[in-house]
Chains A and B, each alone.
Chain A
Amino acid sequence: MSKNSCNRDEGELMYTDDELKDIASKVLQKAEKLFNLSEAEVFIQSLSHMMGGIEYRTPKVFQTTNRAGCAIRFYKNDELFFACFPLTSVLQELDNLEQITTYPIASKKFDFPEIKLSSSSVSNIYDKRIASLNEEEIYSLSYSMSEFEKTIDDIILDGSILFSLEKKVIANSTQALAFEKSTWCDISLRALYRGYDMISTSEKNLTSRQIPSSISSIVEDLVSETMQRSSLSETLSNLSVPIIFSPMAFSQIFSFSLVPLLRKPNAHKLSTLEFSPEFNLTDDGTVPGLPNSTAFDDEGISQAKTVVIKKGMLEQALNNSQFSQENEEKTGNSFRAKLFEIFPRNYQAYPDIFPSNLLVGEGQESYDQIINDVGEGIFVNSTQGYMTADYHSGTFKVSANDSYRVEQGAVAGTLPTFDVIGNIFELLSKSPRFSKDRKVVRPFNTPYSILSPYVYTEEISIFL
């Protein structure tokens, strides 16, 4: 380590653990005293990102982003209100809380939950290496992503590696306080290859709680995929063939067309549907190492393993305090997330129901066995951009921009971009085949992850 470099230890962050807990208590006390509130909840988020980036022909960029804010939710005259402030000024801004909050949130009256935990109890969500990384190490890791540019002509690599340290505190009028700190590593990488007769691009977005053991192997895979795509271009002729979705492609479709129905207020639709008995779905925020495992959700409720769909039938919907019955078991799925952000967890968002880690049940066959059975088909590796999906009807339409022809049990040539149109309810009802192999994906713009198998279906239409 260079003498000039600087360790980013706990003492260097904006607020120490104790300071954050102290502010949470003070905000709660002040709110209760000023406005005679007896039911209030304070959520504090302190977030620190360090990001190294590589970008072709534009400057190398090193970014640090720090966020510290406080959200307060409270009842006054049995009406629920919500507001958020920067942590630097929350104690002063609180004086205007009554003027700022004008309209109550329509909600049945619910109790803020009793907080039972005082600190994190999930292992593998806090990596001391990430918390203490210095600038030189981060830059070195991000720079290593571009090494392949030197060895292969016509390959362009750009992207970023983002390390995040989040601390959150939840305090409410039950007089208990929950505190947790977690780390994340997000790698976003794009390769562009100017091959023999076409330009091809591929992207990878990976989220983990620790530093990946080999960043160079991630880059190597991406480069190889990109080069393969440019050299095996084929046209699509037969459109009535089975499709095999990769975990990445299936997760994108699944997250837009089915995940909204897993929330308590929407789940009644699921109870009217009968999926294939092969389809099982669990939400589990306690699995060590999965991207969204936490000790407790953003209301302070302990994370849990919830069997959502068992053998094709709805078992239990995901809930939070606001959307659960008084004596109903809480599933711990209240999260504050702003979509369209690189790191969606954000104190400014009103707590809503999101999955933590969704586990789609695995099947009996391996991916290779499924592919071996296919005489003629299409393997969709990834989808692109905006997607049209309607969870009321289950219909979806998405562009498949990284797909391959499957012929006589083997993946063959690259196909041009085409549209995939289908219905997720039908796909999951009519004999889908799930592979034994599963991969973790964080769907674009979502705060949760999906552990998904490869999925074979004959229920999809293709449009060129």
Chain B
Amino acid sequence: MLTIDPLESLLEQTRKQGAAYSDIRYGRIEQKNIIALDGEIIKENNCINSGYGIRMLSDGIITFASSPNIDYAKREIEKATRVSSLISNWKKGIAALIDAPVVDSSVIKKPKISWQEMDLRDNKENIRNLDDFIRDSLKVEAEIETDIMFMNWSERFGNSEGSRVHQEYPYAILTLTGRVMHNNLQVKYYQSFGGLGGIEVLPFDKFEQLTHFIEVINNLPNAQLVNQGKYHSILSEDMSWTLLHEVLGHSLEADNVLSGRSFSAGMLGLKIAPSMVSVIDDPYIETLGYYEYDSEGTKGRGTLLVDEGILSDFLHGRMTAAAMESETSANFRAYNYESLPQVRMSNIFFEPKDYSEEELFETVQNGLYIGEGLGGSSEPQTGEYNLDAQYGRIIKDGELADYILQFQISGKMTDTLSKIESISDRLVAQPGSCVKNNQRLYVGSVCPKIVVTEMKVS
């Protein structure tokens, strides 16, 4: 008996219902999360999730339905069609899609060592060995938590214009959290490893990658409180990325620009930073932010967002590109089939420049090194931000000196951009994640170090 592909069957139904445009994503995610405390596994969560996400455009109305069940998905298509006809006389937004090439492609990334194929006793031993190595190097009492996430992500995409895309990506992330006491208060530091791939991207056979984590944990119990003020600062790669992603990056997402949530709206073509500053979003760097096609089947490409200090572009999907008479940059993405995609960053970073790390410290001489980011908040309309750093270090005579406990940096992004003095020559990639409108998405935390002449610290 001939079996009809459910994806084709759903697309056929949207055509019959008269949708001007439709796309269907069938996604399946297989995930295993493991938590270990001091080397012993204490928790495991296994999850398989699959289903259909259906986007339709009819009479200027966007509808989106998701369902794990094919029969119910068909009923949702009928419902969506009725909605569009019912409300066709109401005020509409801008609802059109910019043209995009029709594609037929399959991208399958295989891990070198799959978590599903490895002997899980080895994995247990890996975790123990990793913990033993850390313990042997620690000079302080610390609780060490190891969180591991393995994921196989796959999605099939089809749209009414004829595009068909199949993508499969494996991910592996390991996060170490160390908790130590500081004057009877518990303080912590965490660092993540891994990204696109399987067991081979985790530090199980690369213990040298743990040196930085161990060093920070060893020094936190004696770290000082920060003296509030303005500092000549070097931002670590992760903090540079946190600042860029959270404050400038989100303001360059065209859906935020259109909905009044961006201080960058109206600044296209204007000088917003010194000429040394260029900002790029590139999905082809092999991190958690890697993808070849976005969630509307458009081939990914790098986007030059800030070109030698001049704001040159926004990030787009096909809809925002139509609304702003631009081109899609293939940044319309959702984590899984359950969510309507939004404009999202992939790997956003400051373009590296010619300064070695030593030169950055020579430039600053006396100031503050700002360690990895912890999170923060920003006012999208104004670009004002408050970001937390997990730790810091005094820079004295061009060298790293005493450790500083968790503190906050704040400012206004346009002002901070104008104070970027130099950018290092090396990109460092780590796993990152981003939450936008209650949708979490894994992204790459990729950036070089930057020097800011005056950073407000509290």
A237 on interface, CB distance cutoff 8 Å: no
Interface size on A, residues (CB 8 A): 68
27 A-B contacts (beta carbon < 8 Å): A4-B82, A14-B72, A55-B259, A56-B260, A57-B260, A58-B94, A58-B258, A58-B259, A62-B63, A62-B80, A66-B68, A69-B49, A82-B45, A82-B46, A86-B68, A88-B51, A88-B69, A89-B48, A103-B120, A104-B44, A106-B40, A106-B42, A135-B83, A384-B379, A388-B388, A393-B185, A419-B386
Whether, in the assembled complex, B1 has its beta carbon less than 8 Å from a beta carbon of chain A, the answer is: no
B80 and chain A: residue at smallest CB distance: A62
* Complex Cα gap A2–B83 (Å): 11
- Closest Cβ of chain B to A419, distance in Å, is 7
**A67-B86 contact given A56-B258, A100-B46, CB 8 Å threshold:** no
Q: A59-B93, A65-B338 are in contact. Are A136 and B87 (CB under 8 A)?
A: yes
A390 and B186 contacting across the interface, CB-CB below 8 Å: yes
**CB of B285 within 8 Å of the partner chain:** no
> Nearest chain-A residue to B71 (Cβ)?
A14
Are B86 and A399 closer than 8 Å at their CB atoms?
Answer: no
Q: Are B47 and A58 in contact (CB under 8 A)?
A: no
The answer to whether the Cβ of A192 comes within 8 Å of any Cβ in the partner chain is: yes
Given A6-B82, A58-B94, A390-B185, does the pair A86, B72 have CB atoms closer than 8 Å? no
Q: Are B381 and A192 in contact (CB under 8 A)?
A: yes
Which residues of the partner chain B approach A104 to less than 8 Å between Cβ atoms?
Answer: 41, 44
Contacts of A463 in B (CB 8 A): 228, 458
Q: Are B79 and A340 in contact (CB under 8 A)?
A: no
Which segment of B164-172, B189-197, B370-378 sits at the interface? B370-378
* Min distance, Cβ B13 to any Cβ of chain A, angstroms: 15
Asked if B227 CB lies within 8 Å of chain A CBs, one says: no
Mark out the residues of chain A between 20 and 54 whose CB falls within 8 Å of any chain B CB in the assembled complex.
Answer: none
Q: Which residues of B contact A100 (CB under 8 A)?
A: 46, 48
Nearest Cβ on chain A to B452's Cβ, whole angstroms: 20
**A227→B440 CA distance, assembly (Å):** 32
- A348:B68 contact, CB within 8 angstroms: no
The residue on B at minimum CB distance from A385 is B377
Which chain B residues border A222 with CB–CB below 8 Å? none
Residues of the A chain whose Cβ atoms lie less than 8 Å from the Cβ of B64: 61-64
B34 at the interface (CB under 8 A from A): yes
A60: B residues at CB distance < 8 A: 61-62, 87, 90-93
Q: Which residues of A contact B338 (CB under 8 A)?
A: 65, 67
* Contact A199 B381, beta carbon cutoff 8 Å: yes
Give per-residue flags for B169-189: 1 if the beta carbon is below 8 A from chain A beta carbons, else 0: 000000000000000011000
Are B186 and A82 interface neighbours, CB within 8 A? Answer: no
Q: Which residues of B contact A63 (CB under 8 A)?
A: 63-65, 340
**Could you mark each residue 169-182 of chain A with 1 if its beta carbon is under 8 Å from any beta carbon of chain B, else 0?**
00000000000000
Q: Does B50 interact with chain A (Cβ within 8 Å)?
A: yes
Closest chain A residue to B61, Cβ basis: A60
Residues of A within 8 A of B185 (CB): 390, 392-393, 395
Which of the listed residues A58, A93, A136, A342 has the most CB atoms from chain B within 10 Å of its own CB?
A58
Binary per-residue interface labels of chain A (380-403) against chain B in the complex, 1 for a CB within 8 Å, 0 otherwise: 000011101010110101010100
Report, nearest first, the 7 A-B pairs whose CB atoms are least far apart.
A385-B377, A106-B42, A59-B95, A83-B46, A59-B93, A342-B438, A103-B44
Alpha-carbon distance A143/B93, docked complex (angstroms): 12
Q: CB within 8 A of B68: which of A87, A101, A340, A395?
A: A87
B contact residues, range: 35 or more
Q: Contact: A156 with B384, CB < 8 Å? A: no
| A399-B62 in contact given A2-B86, A5-B82, A62-B83 (Cβ < 8 Å) | no
* Interchain pairs with CB closer than 8 A, number: 201
Smallest beta-carbon distance B457→chain A, Å:
11
Contact of B60 with A by CB under 8 A: yes
In angstroms, how far is the closest chain B Cβ from the Cβ of A171? 20
Whether A102 sits at the interface, judged by CB under 8 Å, is yes
CB-contact partner of B86 in A55, A66, A87, A136, under 8 A: A136
Cβ of B124 under 8 Å from chain A: yes
Which of chain A's residues have a CB closer than 8 A to the CB of B120? 102-103
A417 touches B379 (CB 8 A): yes
Residues A86 and B49 in contact in the complex (CB < 8 Å), given A57-B93, A68-B68: yes
Q: Is the CB of A139 within 8 A of B86?
A: yes
Given A61-B340, A62-B63, A463-B458: A101 and B86 within 8 A (CB)? no
Taking CB atoms and an 8 Å cut-off, the chain B residues in 22-73 that contact chain A are 32, 34, 40-51, 60-69, 72
Closest to B70 in A: A88
Question: A12: nearest residue on chain B (CB-CB)?
Answer: B75
B454 within 8 A of A: no
Q: For B458, what are the chain A residues with a Cβ–Cβ distance below 8 Å?
A: 419, 463
